Amino acid sequence: MSVSADYQLEIRLLSYMNPGGRTDSGQCCEPEAEVQGVCLLQDTCDTRFSIQIENFNQGEVIGDQIVLSEFTDMNTIIFPNCGEIIGGIENPLVFTFPTSAYNASRVSLQGTAL
């Protein structure tokens, strides 16, 4: 007798905050609004999220990288508990994988302020 099953990975996005209004490189999202090292304008960052899942044991990517559309001029984002986030993507995000192929996975979630 042989038994096999799939597993599901569920990722629920709660919130994202960038109170300083800075990009990953430390610059103000609106460089012309920086005075003496302080970003004067609020909610000016365009933020993009990407999710990538890889097989932890072999370092290979499982499926494609998922990129959520940009959130324009938002330094703070509160995601809905359930339902559509943006662009038809639902929260929580649910991924199904065969356990025989991927028994240990690593998830990378990155928020990038532009």
The pLDDT score that the predictor gives to residue 88 is: 67
How confident is the model at residue 101, as a pLDDT? 52
Residue with tokens 């990953």: 24
The Cα–Cα gap between 82 and 97 comes to: 22
The CA-based angle 47-88-21, given to 5 degrees, is 10
Residue 81: domain span: 6-113
Low-confidence ranges of the chain (pLDDT < 50): none
What distance in Å separates the CA atoms of residue 39 and residue 36, rounded to the nearest whole number? Answer: 9
Name the domain count of the chain: 1
pLDDT computed for residue 100 by the predictor: 57
- Report the predicted TM-score, pTM, of the whole model to 2 decimal places: 0.68
Q: Tell me what pLDDT residue 8 has.
A: 77
pLDDT of residue 34: 83
Confirm whether 69 is domain-assigned. Answer: yes
Residue 1 is assigned to a structural domain of this protein = no
Contact 95, 9 (CB under 8 A): yes
Question: Is residue 41 one of the residues assigned to a domain?
Answer: yes
